[in-house]
Chains A and B, each alone.
Chain A
Amino acid sequence: MLRGFKKSKTKSNAAVPSLFLEEHKNDRVTGNLEDTITFIKGILGVNDDFSMRKFHVFGKYPAAMFYFSNMINQTLLNEDILKPLMYPPSHLEGRSIEQDQLKDVLLNETLYHSEGKSEQKLATLVEGILRGGTVIAVEGIEEAFFVGMRSIEKRSIDQPATEQVIRGPREGFIEPIGTNIGLIRYRLQSTDLRIQTMEIGRRTKSTVAVFYMEGITNPDLVKELNKRLSKIDIDAVLDSGYLEQYIEDNHLSPFPQVQYTERPDKVVANLLEGRIAILVDGSPLALVIPTVFSQFYQTVEDYTERYLLMSSIRMARLIALMFSLVFPSLYVSIISFNPELIPTEFAVAVAGGRAGVPFPAVIEVLIIEISMEVLREATIRLPQQVGGALSIVGVLVVGQAAVAAGFASPITVVIIALTTIGSFATPAYNAALALRLLRFPLIIMAGVFGLYGVMIGLIVIANHLLSLKSFGVPYLSPLVPGDFQGMKDLLVRGPLWWMRKRPAFLQPVDETKLGGHTYEDLKNTEENVLDPSKYQK
């Protein structure tokens, strides 16, 4: 019986192409065209989108070309590869090419494509075909030619949907990693930009690119990230979010310890601060590490618009962030435990509104909160054509009706609406989500212990934040541990010329960001060029 089991196992091994490939990892091209064809067709031939084209190089030598027809650019293949191989190009006319010269002539003088090379290992060739390349094997040559000619349909570059700005670049990442790398290189034309790529995902073989600045980023950080990435052994990496969940420090924390962005300019700004960016093929979202809490309420626009205006807007965002966390729980605790805190007239009005509501405040708030979450989730799923209309109906009509029915008090609806809107003012969706989630335990604490309970809850959250680290960087830097340089960009956004140093908590190799005297020099040269008193006709 044991033998039978073993037998069936080996049999199934042979049937799975990837395992077969693994077994024949070191097989080489023999020079016998038929062998190569059998090998490649044996692995890929079952698929209908796989194509093999046989032809004769220069009318003499039998050859075959393999590719997946939907992953390549057919016109280019015909013009640049097939044609010169079949018709000897003009400079080869009249020359008689021997079998032993053939490989060099083909590679160096015939193939009209920049991304062409010769390869011996069959397994590598098969992987190349899978990635969208074309393989050409010629009878009598112990290597095959590999031409990278991938052409996958992709969407155009447009405005990042989740991180729109009024002032600032309008480009966002798209799915293919090549385009994204180009977008970053175009914004950071520096010799110091380093890109390391690796493959993660046993089946998807997704390309993962790690970006950092040599001479700025702390080398230990790069080492640590590579260590974590190299340990990931999973089937599929379908989005950068898969990687985030493996490389983050604390898996239980509701707070994200890795930032994601779809803006190339944001990636570049972060690289220049000494962070590392990670891109995954097929994902329009880059990951940025290490992450601190203050990044979640900063936007690109903070830096493109003038500092005075953006500082105040940043404060508004911070208030919204706090609102979305504590507002409902404060309401519950004041209404149920300490109504004497608020002015008497208001307290009377609130009590009047709540007169017909049968539940205690905490139940009422929880019900409305949960229905708000349901509405929010539904609006994402709704088809766009009805989405707008239905959300208005949902929020306005249901809210109004709930109040009229004596199900909720008007002030509760106001509070929850403000909270929900506040949570959308936070630029980072994942951080807003964390705060929204934490709101619920806070409401329950408020219902049980009043303000005392809210404080206990907040202390637990704050202690968690204080003990949290992203790649060793304390999560609340630069507030705790205090860093005076960093404080200039914490609550307010200081003028650009104040921020001479890169954030110290990232421990960059080169700390200085701004030339010493830029501001002073600009001030000194000030002159009233077009002074009206100088105007003479």
Chain B
Amino acid sequence: METRQITVIQAAAILISTIIGVGVLPLPLFAVRAADSGAPLVTFLGMMVAFVGLVFITVLGMRFPNKSIVQYSEDILGKWFAWLGSAFIIVFFAVLTSLAAREFGEVVVTSVLKTTPVEVTVIVMLLLAAISTRNDTTTFAYIHHFYFPLLLFPALLIVALSLNNGDVINLQPIWGNEPNGTMKGILTIAALFQGSFIMTLVIPSMRRPERAMRASIFGMLIAGGLYVILVVAAVSVFGAEEIKQLLWPTLELAKATSLPANILERLDAAFLAVWVTAVFTTLLSSYFLTIQAINHLFRLRDHKIFSLFILPFVFITAMLPQNIVQLYGIIETVGRIGLSLTIGYPGLLLLISIFRKKRGNPVGEKNLDKNS
């Protein structure tokens, strides 16, 4: 029996640092492609869509405070359907891990380590995540808790410094000029929030699962708020048309800013270095989710064996896309398809569980003690 030690703040920190990842770098591009100057609005709507999924997960988690989605889906759907759903979840998050690792590998190879093969940067990130997943859930929470200020601070710094160059006119009209791809864009951006699925693993380890909703709201607000602010900053500095020419507008934003007093002339390399932590926490979460899901599916005691066992598969998946263009095509498609798993599937489960009046056991009194 794992101890219930995760507090609300830690749960929110896990959400935030999981959501904020490599997806932030192309985020303004996705948003602008969907609705020009309406990008902030699209981002906000995308966040709302993702929030619906998170609410499903959280409500389900609170109905079954001792179980993860793999376990309670068996109660709700019966063994075989649940098995299928869980298998999809496992495969999806393994793919998500590999895509995130590849995406960041490409970023590093393109902008900093120009002569390093992308395989090396990808395998380094994956190894880092794989080794760190060998810890228990409590340490997993500690890791997220430790890094989340490190991730908010540089992003906010970049935003604050770039506001110098921003122009409000770039943000108008706030509805956007040609709102035809808006729906697709909202889904693409909602897909960037898919890491919030980790909540299903966090709730069974929370000290007080009844407060999980609070953590979800805070986590989504801060992470989503940062997304919106970053899009606002990028659009106001570059303008919508300019952003369409940039692959990673957030990185360009860092490039365009410099610290006062000329301490560091350019911030992009430093930003990217700090951003390694953000990518690491995201990778860690999706990798951890994959492994724990396998663990719960096969009812194993120890998840450590799998952490290195699935590494080759994830690595090979990461290396499948031929180039960046294809990579982003896949990321957008996989992300949108994945929404049916991260929003549709929990929604379905919730509906059936209400319909069939299924509930998990409430947390025993013993578990509320400080250290039990």
Contacts and interface: CB of A to CB of B under 8 A. Distances in A.
Contacts, number: 84
A341 B266 contact: yes
Interface residues of A, number: 27
Contacts of A507: 370-371
B116 to A, nearest CB: 7
A452 B276 contact: yes
Contacts of A337: 112-113, 269
Contact of A452 (B142, B273, B371): B273
A459 B276 contact: yes
Contact of A476 (B112, B132, B142, B274): B142
Interface stretch (A49-57, A426-434, A460-468): A460-468
Interface in A370-387: none
B325 interface: no
A449 interface: yes
Contacts of B272: 451-452
B146 A480 contact: yes
B354 interface: no
B43 interface: no
Contact of B142 (A450, A460, A481): A481
Given A343-B265, A452-B276, A456-B276, A481 B113 contact: no
What is the size category of the interface that chain B forms with chain A? Answer: 35 or more
B264 interface: yes
A342 interface: yes
A463 B135 CA distance: 10
B161 interface: no
B9 interface: yes
B33 interface: no
B49 interface: no
Interface in A413-472: 449-452, 454-456, 459-460, 462-463, 466-467
A494 B10 CA distance: 25
A425 B111 CA distance: 37
B265 A338 contact: no
Contacts of B124: 449, 456
Contacts of B262: 343
Contact of B132 (A338, A344, A463): A463
Contacts of A459: 128, 276-277, 280
Given A337-B113, A342-B264, A451-B112, A456 B146 contact: no
Contacts of A481: 5, 7, 10, 141-142, 145
A456 B10 CA distance: 23
9 contacts: A337-B113, A449-B124, A451-B112, A451-B269, A451-B270, A462-B146, A467-B135, A481-B10, A482-B9
Cβ-closest 4 pairs across A and B: A451-B273, A455-B276, A338-B269, A466-B142
Interface of A: 337-338, 340-344, 449-452, 454-456, 459-460, 462-463, 466-467, 474, 476, 479-482, 507
Given A338-B112, A462-B146, A462-B147, 8 more contacts: A340-B266, A450-B112, A455-B273, A455-B274, A459-B128, A459-B277, A462-B143, A467-B135
